[in-house]
């Protein structure tokens, strides 16, 4: 098995348009709320899965949730449903 790739290597190996698409998709499709701790660390309040995805993009220095969400008009939000196992938006 190959060794895991570092975050730095991942960012440099993925095409910029793919990184941007992933960044926008994760930020805009998340309902997590960003919170800053007393020591200035950015955290997310919502499901562990959403928080992990958002943290991943923070670690890549790619995520600006506020501006991404402000620049997209959400027409309809389909909240997560345990029967469907899906969340989405238009």
45 is in which domain, residue-wise? 7-89
C-alpha span between 37 and 41 (Å, rounded): 5
Domain for residue 75, yes or no?
yes
> How many Å is the Cα radius of gyration of the chain?
15
Question: Does some domain include residue 2?
Answer: no
pLDDT the model gives residue 17: 92
Domain count within the chain: 1
pLDDT at 86 over 80: no
Q: Looking at the domain assignment, is residue 57 inside a domain?
A: yes
Residue range 28-53, pLDDT digits in tens: 888 788 888 889 888 888 888 888 88
Q: Assess if residue 1 is contained within a domain.
A: no
Determine what percent of the chain is predicted with pLDDT higher than 70: 97
Q: Give me the sign of the Cα torsion angle 30, 22, 65, 10.
A: positive
Q: Is residue 38 part of a domain?
A: yes
Region 63-76: mean pLDDT is 80
Q: Residue 5 and residue 74: Cα distance in Å, rounded?
A: 34
Q: Where are the beta strands (DSSP E) in the chain?
A: 33-36, 42-45, 77-81, 86-89
82, pLDDT greater than 80? no
pTM for the full model? 0.68
24, part of any domain: yes
């Amino acid at each position: 098995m190959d060794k895991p790739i570092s975050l730095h290597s991942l960012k440099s190996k993925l095409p910029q348009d793919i990184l941007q698409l992933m960044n926008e998709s994760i930020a805009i499709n998340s309902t997590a709320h960003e919170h800053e701790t007393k020591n200035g660390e950015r955290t997310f309040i919502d499901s562990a899965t959403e928080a992990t995805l958002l943290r991943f993009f923070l670690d890549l220095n790619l995520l600006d949730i506020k501006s991404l969400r402000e620049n997209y008009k959400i027409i309809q939000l389909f909240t997560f449903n345990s029967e469907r196992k899906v969340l989405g938006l238009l």
